Amino acid sequence: MTETTTTTTGTGGVDQELVRAAARVARTRCRGDNHTMAAAGRADDGRIVTAVNAYHFTGGPCAELVLIGAAAAQGVQRLVTVVAVGDRDRGVVPPCGRCRQVLLDYFPDLEVIVGTGDGIRAVRVAELLPE
């Protein structure tokens, strides 16, 4: 499941519109056990692309990886910010190790919105990986 909207990037801080987009998809499209995570990405042209994971016991793709393919299919050249949100009101969820590496390989300057004890913040994807 993917959705696309055209918007402008927020100024400074966390892209709250992006977080809301991912949360909306998690709330409305993640039902049952096959789709439990939603991701949203801001393209360099301002569009928001969304996607959900495809759970499978063999290790189906995470929402962030589906997002990369959905963005490419919609003509997005570059994502500038991404966020993942869990179903059942789990909020912002950081990418797994595999997704961190793939996101870095595809978009080295990418910002990733992650949750912290006192809220959420945007960090460069490289900061999420060991040196």
Domains of the chain, by residue range, sit at 3-128
Say if pTM beats, i.e. exceeds, 0.85: yes
The token duo for 49 is 């692309």
For the question of residue 64 being annotated catalytic, the response is yes
pLDDT along the chain (131 residues), means of 10: 38 84 96 94 98 94 98 98 96 97 98 86 96 85
At 84 the pLDDT is 98
CATH architecture of 3-128: 3-Layer(aba) Sandwich (3.40)
At 117 the pLDDT is 58
At 51 the pLDDT is 98
Residue from 3, 64, 111, 131 carrying the catalytic annotation: 64
> For the chain, what percentages of helix, strand and coil (3-state, to nearest 5) are there?
30, 30, 40
At 76 the pLDDT is 98
Consecutive H or E run containing 38: strand 37-43
- Cβ-contact 30, 125 below 8 angstroms: no
